[in-house]
């Protein structure tokens, strides 16, 4: 049956998820071969390049493997089902929606500044280059769930800061300017919010947090965002497969 793809996620990520669903729904086991590219493009009404990008994501996730001349095959890792892998690269908005939260973004501050050395290093900036510093809260029913700091090279987003809508998706904004983040290198730690942030934003009830610090890269491998995102520990949990 034809299954056209339509939703807010990037096409490759959306199709990757549908392909993973296909593997499960059709009971494909480790060693089974996936349908051909021709069959999949017809089924999902999608272009071959988009399909190959999605298949590459599945390969990177270890769900399928490629044997040249024979096709793509389901791996043993496909049997390990992880509900929300921490390795999944997606926007904070998409992640929050998965947990059932309809969040709104509250912009706390926006500024252009000289980056600290660690940020300059992560974004591979030359001396004198500046960044945009974006500080936001994400709230669900007026409850703060996520506090985030994002740093973007100033050169990537030209124009006056206050002419830009900062309450929407930063990933979508960068995509609009042809700097779409595709992947990230991240670290995770259990922390509490820094006292200065707690006092300044009245976040005394935020509690323990899961901090994800990451540098996001575009398709060319150029860093486009350095972010520190604090997830309220009482509202979020992430999982992973151990291989």
Distance CA 114, CA 111 (A): 10
* pLDDT of amino acid 4: 44
Model-level pTM? 0.68
Please name the residue that has the structure tokens 């990037």: 10
Buried/exposed code over 100-111 (b: 16+ C-beta within 10 A; e: otherwise):
ebebebeeeeee
Residues 149 and 193 both lie in one domain = yes
For range 9-32, the mean pLDDT: 85
Structure tokens at 13: 């990520």
Residues 101 and 23 both lie in one domain = no
For the chain, how many structural domains are there in total?
Answer: 2
Report yes or no on 4 lying in a domain.
Answer: no
Strands, DSSP E only, in 114-236? 131-140, 143-153, 183-192, 208-217, 223-232
Higher per-residue confidence, 56 vs 2: 56
Residue numbers of the domain that contains 58:
11-79
Residues 24 and 139 both lie in one domain = no
Q: Which residue, 27, 53, 79, sits at the end of a domain?
A: 79
Residue 89 pLDDT > 70, yes or no?
no
For range 31-35, the mean pLDDT: 93
Higher per-residue confidence, 80 vs 9: 80
Q: Which residue, 79, 111, 129, sits at the end of a domain?
A: 79
For range 114-119, the mean pLDDT: 97
For range 191-200, the mean pLDDT: 96
pLDDT tens by residue, 127-161: 999 999 999 999 999 999 999 999 999 999 988 99
């Amino acid at each position: 049956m034809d299954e056209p793809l339509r939703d807010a996620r990037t096409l490759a990520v959306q199709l990757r998820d549908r392909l993973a669903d296909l593997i499960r729904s059709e009971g494909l086991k480790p060693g089974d071969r996936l349908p051909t590219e021709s069959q999949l493009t017809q089924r999902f009404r999608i272009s071959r390049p988009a399909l190959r990008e999605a298949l590459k994501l599945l390969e990177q996730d270890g769900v399928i493997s490629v044997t040249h001349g024979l096709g793509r095959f389901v791996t043993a890792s496909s049997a390990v089902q992880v509900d929300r892998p921490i390795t999944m690269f997606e926007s904070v908005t998409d992640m929050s929606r998965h947990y059932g939260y309809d969040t709104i973004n509250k912009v706390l501050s926006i500024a252009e500044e000289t980056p600290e050395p660690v940020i300059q290093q992560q974004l591979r900036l030359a001396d004198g280059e500046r960044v945009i510093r974006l500080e936001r809260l994400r709230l669900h029913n007026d409850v703060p769930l996520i506090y985030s700091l994002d740093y973007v090279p100033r050169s990537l987003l030209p124009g006056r800061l206050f002419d830009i809508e900062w309450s929407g998706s930063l990933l979508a904004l960068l995509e609009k300017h042809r700097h779409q983040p595709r992947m990230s290198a991240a670290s995770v730690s259990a922390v509490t919010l820094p006292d200065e942030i707690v006092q300044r934003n009245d976040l005394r009830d935020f509690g323990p947090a899961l901090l994800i610090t990451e540098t996001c890269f575009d398709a060319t491998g150029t860093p486009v965002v350095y972010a520190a995102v604090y997830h309220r520990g009482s509202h979020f949990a992430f999982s992973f497969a151990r291989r």
